[in-house]
Amino acid sequence: MPLFGPLGRRPAGTMLTAFTVLITAWLSPAAATPASDSPTPADTTSDVWRVAPPETKKDQLTADVALDDSTGALSLTVRRGADPVLPDSPLGLRTRDADLTRGLELLDRADRRVVERYEMTTGKQRRVRSPMTESRFALRGEGGVRMDLVVRVARDGVAFRYELPDSAGTVVTGEATGYRLPAGAPAWLLPHTSWYEEVRARTTAGGAPAGDYGYPALFELAAGSANEYVLLTESGMDSTYPGSKLAHTAAGDNGGGAYDVALAEAEVVSPGDLATPWRTAIVGDLAAVTESTLVSDLAPDAEFADTSWIRPGTVSWSWLVEHDSPRDFERQKDYVDYAAAHGWEYTLVDEGWSREWVPELVRYARARGVDILLWFRWWEVDTPEEMDGVFGELNDWGVKGVKVDFMNNGGGEPEGVGRHAWYEDVLAATAEHRLLVNFHGATLPKGLQRTWPHLMTYEAVRGHEYYSFDQPLTPTYNTMLPFTRNVVGSADVTPGTFSMTNRTHTDAHELALPVVYESGLQHPADSPETYARLPEAERVLDQLPTVWDETRYLGGRPGDDAVLARRAGERWFVGGIHAGAAGETEVDLGRLGADDDERLLVELVTDEADGADGADGADGADGLVRESRTVAGDAELTVPVAGNGGFVALVCPAERGRTTCDAPVRTTPATALAVTPATATAEPGDEIEVTGRFAAADGESATLRDVRLGARPRAGWTASGDDAARPVLRPGQALSGSWTVRVPESAEPGYADVPVVAEYRAPGAGRAEPPVHVEQAVRVLVAPPVPRGEAHVGDLHLLTATNGWGPVEVDTSVGEDGAGDGAPLTIGGTTYDKGLGAHAPSRVTVYLGGACSAFTAQVGVDDEVGDQGSVSFRVLGDGTELAATGTLRGADGAQPVTADVAGVDVLTLEVADGGDGISYDHADWADAKVSCA
């Protein structure tokens, strides 16, 4: 049953509350005077109303809303006890018809207690309970226009938003919202870009250069006897309102620290009621900031309840250290094999994958207990029709998730309502097709991971890919992220990259990053060969979960150190990273909650002593050591830390006989599924006899349970014959079946796979775990008509057509990456009317059916790239090479290619790069034709 109907978005202002408990107590409308618990206003010309949290305690957070009697302007002050933390923040909206920043009059105030209860599939805490007080201030402004200010106060921060209720429609032209910070307050700020990948730097609120800054923005403020930190961001985004940023006019440390909310679009057109995102301030010490769930607390509840199909996990990924490897089927199998051997859940195939071999890779991986994720450009799934087609095909292949990239460009405002509408549409479509999502080149997390539980992670961070651009991440930068970017949602930094020689931090620092940085999909970004040379790192990565029950701050300060602990079940994983000279770190295990008389087993991984000066292990040598300690539950560990170093600790109860916190690494038994025939050629209406035999592989000792074997043809194809099933399949036993598969009369020419699937429960698997899926397929060619006479290849039905960049073009050059954007085919100054425009690596197949005798073409690099580019051409008949060229370059003219194709059923035209990368490799098969009977 579909999870959703047609793609669409929620009406403005609606919120699902499946996991939200609202305890409401509406107060008397007589709220035009200060509330009884309000402080005496410092400015007696203002009315002030206090919003206090539901859990009363000493030095609690409160929010004071003030309305200036003389101007009718609103402001908000956040206090810790009696001390202002975030003072005099201006509030209000401007619309095309009314200025709602001045001349406001309070009509009513209503309060309620809100308790958010929900479960996350990702994040720093799986189960969340967050009590808040909400106050709604109903205001009347210019022309009698109504505006509500809604304020929420929680134990870890304050948030507010504006609502325009009972509106026949409006156009917002801006906000008066801003924050007034002490000029000398230390600040950790990110210059704003739509992809949030600039370098965050330490400055001061007043000393930061004039300009725009991205969320989250962290400030350190003096408040009473202890310092407070304020992290500014936004939450509860939807497609009715654009994103925003912080605009700062520099005034110097002795001037002002004013930061105003600037919208990404000049106008916001709303057809009816309007609710803005929550302007969010997380407030407290560094423990409160790093452990906060306020961003997801403020977000709408989950759009669907069944999350059983959502599986976060560890992902093998080749692109960072081998940019061309996603084009290489055999190399991707190496990454699958590594994931399978180490119990990792996924392999991500990044830019360059081919439709020709991905289905086979998926089958190869799933038989080994590994699922495949695929990379896409966002404009490849830009419309509902594209989403349904692409994601439906991924379901047919068995792909389990998508990494979607470059939302920061491709037309339109990347933080505008149109792009946010696309985010909602693609999340609805991927949920419909049960695909996990990883957003890259994207906006910042703003609560959508609660609303859409299959959204595993975002980039929106300068991650490890910058090493390959020769812009290494510094240890100082690394220690800022846990207190800033990663507070508001999962961050796909892709840590665990040991082979980068431009690294300036140690192996233990690098190993700690997947603990310190939370991500629902964690991508250790190095090669199997590198990890094999780092056994201690490998051991930690094999144990590391990506779903956490809770997170605790244990120490550090942005730019200097970060020590975080994350719990999964009974085990705590502690990660510490350091910037600066060698020293020692004190780790208070008492914060993990164990009783004083409880004994804990601690397994500590640090840098070798000679690694104190930097990344001695960057060449792949093992620079890590492990030691075990048994300590009291409230012990303070003194951990030696190398220069720019770090550490990882696994902590678990020290039970009798227990020598390690490691859990066994579960791997999938080796099996064999044989299917006949391997290939077939058929016409619409034909029937194909298919058989399958499934058994454990030779030498495998595992017993398989709940085994089922059957044919699973795609929609429109049918299979007669029952599934074969056995409750237990022991070593040496086999399960066999046979089926008659019928090709539908409506089948289009081309290749179609008829899968035969075996599913079983692996040893040790729980009932809630998905079965292991083993699949082989009969490759069926539904034959198009054979060509007659002299036929241009571009006029025939292309059975397959893959390209290294953009689509294969017919009768034009490849041009750019869009369909139909090529120019006339031109080689060496000669223009050709007919042919194919390709880009290395490329592969095109057409059906000849044994009816043709000769193939001819003029080949070369298209003139549109000048003297650049280098390619080679091959012609194959039924898989056998018939003709080939050497390397041709942009300065070369056209070269003739001929081949004898007598008796050939399938003709294949391949283009390879010249060995120097694929840039500018625009290859033309000009005047390509076959001579047939």
Separation between Cα atoms, residue 650 and residue 628, nearest integer Å? 9
Output the CA torsion 268→272→277→278 (10° steps).
130
The tokens for 892 are 């070369």
The tokens for 655 are 């039970």
Q: How far is CA 378 from CA 8, 243, 390, 461, 516, in A?
A: 18, 19, 12, 18, 29
> What SS3 state is found at 761?
strand
**Length reported for the chain:** 933
Helix (H) or strand (E) holding 426: helix 417-432
Catalytically active residues are 405, 465
Strand (E) positions, 422-519? 436-439, 455-458
**Which residue in 354, 187, 169, 154 sits closest to 259, CA to CA?**
187
Separation between Cα atoms, residue 882 and residue 388, nearest integer Å? 39
Separation between Cα atoms, residue 464 and residue 485, nearest integer Å? 15
Separation between Cα atoms, residue 912 and residue 5, nearest integer Å? 44
Output the CA torsion 266→270→274→280 (10° steps).
-30
> What SS3 state is found at 510?
helix
Phi, psi angles (nearest 5°) of residue 430: -70, -35
Helix%, strand%, coil% for the chain, nearest 5: 15, 40, 45
**Which residue in 622, 591, 594, 410 sits closest to 506, CA to CA?**
622
Residues contacting residue 634 through CB under 8 Å, at least 6 positions apart: 589, 590, 594, 596
**Which residue in 107, 108, 106, 27 sits closest to 67, CA to CA?**
106
Cβ pair 363, 357 in contact under 8 A: no
Separation between Cα atoms, residue 784 and residue 516, nearest integer Å? 56
Q: Strand 436-439 and strand 455-458: pairing? A: parallel
Cβ pair 230, 218 in contact under 8 A: yes
**Which residue in 635, 436, 591, 429 sits closest to 519, CA to CA?**
436
